[in-house]
């Protein structure tokens, strides 16, 4: 059975696996220590899964840093889940309930890192673009500044320069390619 079944006293009856987890975690001695180790391994697996699932949001983290984040998240989730054992009501298997702590902890940590990364990139981007504009040709620089920096619509710019929209677009793409290579070298993107 997947959920609790109320008895005459209204207290839930847990499935065998969930009951075994609760007894082991609230017990004492070696069985409790073993249960904590098994639960941490389960939470680490859930944290690693979530970190890998959201990896694209933190492209600046390497594999070791992502694993360290998962380990830290699993440890925090273990502390939180074991402090909330009395709140487990059996609506799902215990392992599912506990894994949610790791998934949520990992997601929050990744969102914070992604936000910090975006903030750093936002402050660095104008500097890098400004420093690298000199690597563009005069034509590329003019097009890039008008369209990407000043926000002039491509049709308006093309008409004012007596050029085709396609020609302006190709020039803009060439300028972006030069700047993109620079940004990749500085690991912003």
Q: 45-84, pLDDT tens digit by residue?
A: 999 999 999 998 888 889 999 999 999 999 999 999 999 9
Kindly state the percentage of the chain with pLDDT values over 70. 85
Mean pLDDT of 158-172: 93
Q: How confident is the model at residue 126 (pLDDT cuts 50, 70, 90)?
A: low
Give, for 104, the enclosing helix (H) or strand (E): helix 94-132
Task: Give Cβ neighbours of residue 76 (< 8 Å, ≥ 6 apart).
Answer: 105
Task: Give the pLDDT score at 150.
Answer: 79
Task: Give the pLDDT score at 181.
Answer: 80
Residues 170, 119: Cα–Cα separation, whole Å: 30
Mean pLDDT of 14-42: 96
Token pair 């929209």 is found at 165
Task: Give the pLDDT score at 124.
Answer: 65
Q: Do residues 101 and 58 touch, judged by C-beta distance below 8 A? A: no
Residues 189, 187: Cα–Cα separation, whole Å: 5
Give, for 1, the enclosing helix (H) or strand (E): none
Task: Give the pLDDT score at 20.
Answer: 96
* DSSP code of residue 24: H
| First-last CA distance in the chain | 48
Give, for 10, the enclosing helix (H) or strand (E): none
Residues 93, 154: Cα–Cα separation, whole Å: 57
Taking the model in full, what pTM does it have?
Answer: 0.63
Residues 30, 99: Cα–Cα separation, whole Å: 23
Mean pLDDT of 139-150: 87
Q: Could you give the angle at the alpha carbon of 169 between the alpha carbons of 164 and 170, nearest 5°? A: 100
The CATH architecture of the domain made up of 16-116 is Orthogonal Bundle (1.10)
pLDDT digits (tens, 9 = 90+) for 79-111: 999 999 999 999 999 999 999 999 999 999 998
Token pair 């830290």 is found at 72
Q: How confident is the model at residue 132 (pLDDT cuts 50, 70, 90)?
A: confident
Kindly state the percentage of the chain with pLDDT values over 90. 59
Q: Where are the domains of the chain?
A: 16-116, 136-185
Q: What are phi and psi of 60, to 5 degrees?
A: -80, -15
């Amino acid at each position: 059975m997947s959920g609790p079944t109320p008895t005459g006293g209204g207290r839930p009856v847990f499935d065998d696996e969930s009951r075994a987890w609760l007894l082991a975690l609230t017990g004492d001695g070696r069985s409790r220590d073993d249960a904590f180790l098994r639960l941490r391994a389960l939470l680490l697996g859930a944290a690693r899964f979530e970190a890998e699932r959201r990896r694209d949001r933190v492209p600046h983290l390497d594999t070791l840093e992502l694993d360290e984040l998962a380990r830290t998240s699993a440890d925090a989730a273990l502390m939180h889940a074991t402090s909330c054992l009395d709140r487990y009501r059996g609506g799902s298997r215990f392992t599912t309930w506990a894994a949610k702590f790791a998934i949520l902890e990992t997601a929050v940590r990744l969102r914070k890192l992604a936000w910090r990364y975006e903030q750093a990139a936002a402050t660095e981007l104008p500097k890098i673009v400004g420093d690298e504009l000199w690597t563009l040709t005069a034509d590329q620089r003019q097009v890039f500044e008008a369209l990407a920096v000043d926000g002039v619509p491509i049709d308006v710019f093309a008409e004012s320069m007596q050029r085709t929209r396609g020609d302006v677009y190709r020039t803009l793409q060439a300028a972006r390619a030069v700047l993109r290579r620079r940004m990749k070298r500085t690991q912003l993107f």
